[in-house]
């Protein structure tokens, strides 16, 4: 089949969604289809949302099948549209009136939200099939739009390259250094860690300087390593040598870091409000679910540092948990229904 994967792109930004779309195109090609990635530039601010949606509505796409992914790409018009929903425009849904949204509780925001929900519902109803990346995203869709979708789990980037290794003296977090990923929680936790465990906080973002200053002010800078962007080869080895992975974002849609940690045989320390991460991390089995406070995260790090055999046991269970992830079944569901 000729298949177009449709997705939005914020200029100069690259993250999990972009990798997801590219890997999907690769998996479709591996399955023998002719696949292309079609993206349109998108602005996330409230004043331009409807312009971006209308732009997708006007784009003619000639293909046997289109697979739409994140907002607003699912506004694409096609007789054979399948939606694999990464997420809707969360600032207009579950993040309203938070630090991560320009939608408040004022009349203009509420009217824009009402209209967006109405538009979203109508274009998502057009899809022949609806899937989501996680149960959490499916639950949001049902709650906000009254639409049913099937969670469809897929392997994260580097899945085939990640491997087990020794349980070292550091915990790893590879993420964007932005507020919704809560890297400050990890830095604050290290100030309360009593064991000799270190933190490797890999990634870039707007909070870089603030995090370094916080670690220095709290006296834990020598135990907090911030290498910035880490190339894939090095990241694979960082996962392999970690004691555990700490990943505690706010209501994450899916969470590649969790699956990458599991593939490397490492338990994950997370928080009770981490969203899709909790579909994988079972407290005491494949990781530790904390209360999301620095003290709680610190206690979890110390617990594994004091009992490396426990980390090894959880890591083995974690690796087994993701053993069945593969792109083949995902492509079959998206293409074959």
Phi and psi angles of residue 99, each rounded to the nearest 5 degrees, phi first: -65, -15
Res 69: pLDDT: 96
- Tens place of pLDDT per residue across the chain (337 aa): 999 999 998 877 777 788 899 999 999 999 999 999 999 998 888 888 899 999 999 999 999 999 999 999 999 999 999 999 998 998 899 889 888 888 999 999 999 999 999 999 999 999 999 999 999 999 999 999 999 999 999 999 999 999 999 999 999 999 999 999 999 999 999 999 999 999 999 999 999 999 999 999 999 999 999 999 999 999 999 999 999 999 999 999 999 999 999 999 999 999 999 999 999 999 999 999 999 999 999 999 999 999 999 999 999 999 999 999 999 999 999 998 6
**Fold for domain 2-155+326-336?**
Rossmann fold (3.40.50)
Res 17: pLDDT: 85
Same fold, 2-155+326-336 and 170-321: yes
Q: Which CATH number does 170-321 carry?
A: 3.40.50.2000
Domain spans in the chain, listed from the N-terminal domain onward: 2-155+326-336, 170-321
Cα dist from 310 to 113, 197, 306, 313, 317, whole Å? 47, 15, 9, 5, 11
- Return the number of other C-beta atoms located less than 10 Å from residue 31's C-beta: 17
Res 95: pLDDT: 87
Element (H, E) at 245: strand 244-246
Q: How far apart are CA 206 and CA 90, in angstroms?
A: 20
Res 100: pLDDT: 82
Q: How far apart are CA 305 and CA 17, in angstroms?
A: 33
Residues ≥6 apart with Cβ < 8 Å to 285: 314, 317
Whether 69 and 86 have beta carbons less than 8 Å apart is answered as yes
Res 9: pLDDT: 86
Dihedral angle sign, alpha carbons of residues 81, 83, 87, 92? positive
114: exposed, middle or buried (Cβ count in 10 Å: 0-12, 13-18, 19+): exposed
């Amino acid at each position: 089949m000729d298949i177009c994967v449709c997705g939005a792109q914020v200029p100069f930004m690259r993250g999990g969604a972009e990798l997801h779309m590219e890997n999907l195109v690769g998996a479709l090609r591996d399955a023998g289809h002719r696949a292309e990635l079609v993206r349109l530039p998108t602005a996330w601010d409230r004043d331009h949302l409807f312009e971006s949606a209308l732009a997708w509505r006007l784009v003619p796409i000639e293909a046997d099948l289109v697979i739409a992914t994140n907002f607003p790409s699912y506004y694409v018009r096609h007789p054979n549209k399948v939606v694999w929903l990464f997420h809707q425009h969360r600032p207009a849904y579950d993040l309203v009136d938070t630090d991560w949204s320009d939608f408040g509780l004022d009349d203009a925001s509420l009217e824009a939200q009402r209209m967006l929900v109405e538009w979203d519902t109508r274009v998502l109803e057009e899809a022949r099939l609806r899937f989501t990346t996680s149960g959490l995203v499916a639950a949001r869709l049902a709650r906000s739009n009254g639409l049913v979708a099937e969670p469809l789990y897929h392997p994260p980037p580097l899945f085939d390259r990640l491997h087990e290794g020794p349980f070292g003296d550091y915990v790893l977090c590879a993420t964007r250094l932005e507020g919704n990923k809560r890297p400050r929680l990890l830095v604050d936790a290290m100030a309360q860690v009593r064991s000799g465990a270190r933190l490797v906080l890999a990634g870039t973002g707007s909070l870089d300087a603030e995090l370094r200053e916080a670690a220095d002010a709290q006296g834990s800078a020598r135990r907090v390593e911030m290498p910035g962007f880490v190339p894939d080869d090095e990241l694979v080895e960082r996962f392999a040598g970690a004691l555990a992975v700490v990943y505690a974002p706010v209501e994450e849609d899916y969470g590649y870091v969790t699956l990458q940690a599991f593939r490397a045989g490492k338990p994950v320390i997370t928080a009770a409000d981490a969203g899709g991460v909790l579909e994988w991390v079972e407290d005491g089995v494949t990781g530790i679910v904390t209360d999301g406070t620095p003290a709680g995260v610190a206690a979890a790090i110390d617990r594994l540092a004091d009992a490396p055999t426990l980390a090894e046991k959880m890591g083995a269970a974690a690796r087994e948990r993701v053993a069945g992830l593969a792109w083949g079944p995902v492509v079959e569901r998206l293409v074959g229904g």
